[in-house]
A and B are shown apart, each in its own frame.
Chain A
Amino acid sequence: MNRDIWVFAENFGGRPAPVYGELVRKANEMREKMQEARVCGVVLGKDVDGLAAAASVQGVDTVYVMDHPKLDTLDACVLKEAFAALIRAYNPEVVLVGATALGAELAPGIAGKLKTGLAAHCVDIEVTEKRINCMVPAFGGRVISEIYVPATRPVMASVRPGIFDAPEPAGAGAPVTAGNPSTQVVRADSSFLDSVTSPVEMIAFEQDAPSADLRLEDADIVVCAGRGVSTQEDFENVKALAGKLNAAFGCTRSFVDLGFVPDESRMIGTSGKSVKPQLFLGFGISGAAHHTCGMNKSKLVITVNRDEKARMFANSDYGVVGDAGKVVSALLKQL
C-alpha cells in the first residue's frame, strides 16, 4: 500500500473533464497532509495518448493509462473492470471521481467490485492525523455527515463538478507551463480486456446540438428562477434578464418537473448543477436545502421573494421582500 491519491481523468472529447482540474487541485491540498503521497491521473479509453498528455497537468506525478479498443465507450460496466484492475495493480490510498453522468455510475461499480467504501458527492475532504473525512450532504444538503473508511482501501469519493475550486492559472490542476513536463505516463497492461465481455453495449451516441447559451458552470453571473416565478411571462422575463446581464440562466427543480426546461442542465441544486458565480441573482426561490446546496458558495447573492420568512434570505447578502415578477420587469426597464 502506498499513499497515492488518484483522480479520474474522464475523456471529454480528447480532453479531461473540467472536474479533473478541480480534483487535482484538491488532491494536492490533501497531499500536503499525507506523507510521501503522490497525485496521479487515471486515463481509460482507446488511443488515448493525447488524453494522457492533456491529463499530465501541474501537480500530477504520474498518469496511469489503460488503452484498449473496448474502452472506447460510455458503458460503466466495462470501464469499471479496467479501473478496478488498475487499482489492484498499483494500490492507491484514495480514488477521486467526478460525479459526472458517467462518473456517478462508474464509482459505485468500482467500489462494489473492490468491496471498499465510497463517499458520495463530497462537498469537502479533510485529511486529519487519524483519517480522511469526506463531508457528504444528506437530506437535500440540510445535514453534512462526515464519512470515513476505516479498514478497506482505497478510500473512494465522488465530487460533483463545480464543488471544488478550479485550478489557479499556474497552480495544481492547470495545464503544464513550458519547461515543466515532469509527469510520468505509465501504460498498464490491458490485454486481459480481450476476454472481458460486458453485458452492456453502447449502440449509439447522439451529440447535443451546439448551444449559444452560456452554461451555468462557466458563468460569472447566474440569474435563477424559483417557484415564486409563477407565470410564463415572468419566467421568460427572468431568462431575458439573464441575457441582458450576460449571465447564465438557472432554475429550481419545479421547472424541470413542469417541462419549462428540457433537462437538469439548467437546474441548480441536488441532482442538478453546483454553481459559485461572482453574482447570484435569485427570484422567487424559497431556499430549500435541495437548492441552496448547489449555490451556497456564490460570492454576492441578491434574492427577491414575496415571503419575508423565506429561507433563501439566510443564504443572501441582500434581500428584497416583493413580487419577483415585478422586480424582474423593473430591472429589465431600468437596464
Chain B
Amino acid sequence: MKIAVCIKSVPDPDCYDKITLDPVNKTLNRAGIPAVINVADKHAIEAALQLKEEYGGSITVVSMGPPPVEQQLREALAMGADDAYLLSDRKVGGADTLATSYAVSKLIEQTGPYDIILAGNESADGATSHVPAQIAEWMGLGCICSALSIRVEDGKAIVTKKFENGTGTFRLGLPCVIAVNQRINKVRLTNMMAVLKAKKKPLTVFSAADITGLDESRVGLAGSPTQNGELHMAESTKVCTMLEGTEEEAAAMILEKIKPLLKA
C-alpha cells in the first residue's frame, strides 16, 4: 500500500495570541513565532503509520511552501515516513485553497501513484478545511473529510465520519483522499534515534518547472479565485468589571447578576 500524507507547516497555534497587526500598512506581525507541523497533519501521519503496520507499504509526505518547510518534512520522516517531497517556488506562493490544492495534486501525481492520500482535516492557521476535498476534485478521486477511522477491505477503504445526528460509514474505491479528524488516533512520540535516522531519508525539493504538466495559470496568486482585502484584529467590545472578594462572596455576586436570567 502506497500512502501519501499532505502536511502543512503552520505558525505554532500556541502563539496566535501574540500575532499583531501593523496599524499603518495592515500587515501581520508574526515575527518570532516558530513553524510546526499542523497538528491535524500529525494525526494523518499517525494514521498512515498504522495503515502501514497493518497492510505494509510505504509512506511519502508531501508539502508546499518555502525552503524552511524542509524542517517539518524532516520531522515527519522522524515520525516514521519513508520519503518526502517539497514543492517550493515563488510561482506557487500566495495561493488560496483552490490554487494550493491544484499544485499539491500535481505534486502527488508526479511522485505517485498512491493508493491512499491522507491529510489533516484542517490547518490551525487558515482552518478552511478546503484543500483535501479540492485535491480530490482536481484528481477526480473520492474523498471523505473528518474521518474517525480507516481500514482497508477487499481493496477499498472503509471510513467512518461523524455527522450532527449520527455516524456514517463509507466505502471508497482506491485511490482516494481521506482527511482525518484529530480524534482518529493518539500520535506516537518520536525518539532521538528516529530523528537521526530521518536525516538520511530521501527528501526532494521540486521547483514549479520540475512538475510535469503544471498549468502555471492555475497556481499562486494568479491561479487563486479568492483575493484578500483588509485584515482586522478580532477585538472584543466588552468592558470587564471585576467582582472582588473570596470565592464564596464572588459566587454570591455572580448569583445576584444572573438571577434575572434564571428560569423558575
Contact = CB atoms under 8 A, between A and B. Distances in A.
Contact of A320 (B162, B164, B243): B243
Contacts of B98: 111-112, 115, 117-118
Contact of A319 (B21, B130, B242): B242
Interface stretch (A23-31, A148-156, A180-188): A148-156
Interface string A125-142: 000000001010111111
Given A317-B240, A319-B242, 6 more contacts: A107-B130, A109-B143, A117-B225, A146-B230, A207-B165, A245-B258
Interface string A263-275: 1100000110000
Contacts of B194: none
A12 B133 contact: no
**Interface residue SS majority, chain B:** mixed
A145 B133 contact: no
B250 A205 contact: no
Given A112-B133, A143-B233, A146-B228, A199 B254 contact: no
A75 interface: yes
Given A142-B233, A289-B17, A322 B143 contact: no
A278 B261 contact: yes
Contact of A199 (B19, B173, B227, B236): B173
Nearest to B125: A139
A89 interface: no
Contacts of A330: 247-248, 250-252
Contacts of B129: 104-105, 108, 120
Contacts, number: 276
Nearest to B255: A334
B4 interface: no
**Interface residue SS majority, chain A:** mixed
12 contacts: A111-B225, A112-B98, A112-B138, A146-B231, A203-B169, A245-B262, A292-B236, A316-B240, A319-B240, A320-B253, A320-B254, A333-B251
Interface string B98-127: 100100000000000000000001101111
A314 B238 CA distance: 7
A138 B233 CA distance: 10
Interface stretch (A64-72, A166-174, A298-306): A298-306
A311 interface: yes
B144 A320 contact: no
Contact of A118 (B130, B161, B246): B130
B212 interface: no
Interface in A278-335: 278-279, 281, 288-290, 292-293, 296, 300-302, 304, 311, 313-323, 326-327, 329-331, 333-335
B130 A102 contact: no
**8 A-B pairs with least C-beta separation:** A146-B229, A199-B142, A112-B137, A330-B251, A117-B225, A120-B128, A117-B226, A108-B130
A23 B205 CA distance: 44
B28 interface: yes
B257 A147 contact: no
B64 interface: no
B112 to A, nearest CB: 16
A246 B263 contact: yes
Contact of B134 (A112, A146, A313, A315): A112
A206 interface: yes
A51 interface: no
B206 interface: no
B186 to A, nearest CB: 9
A111 B130 CA distance: 9
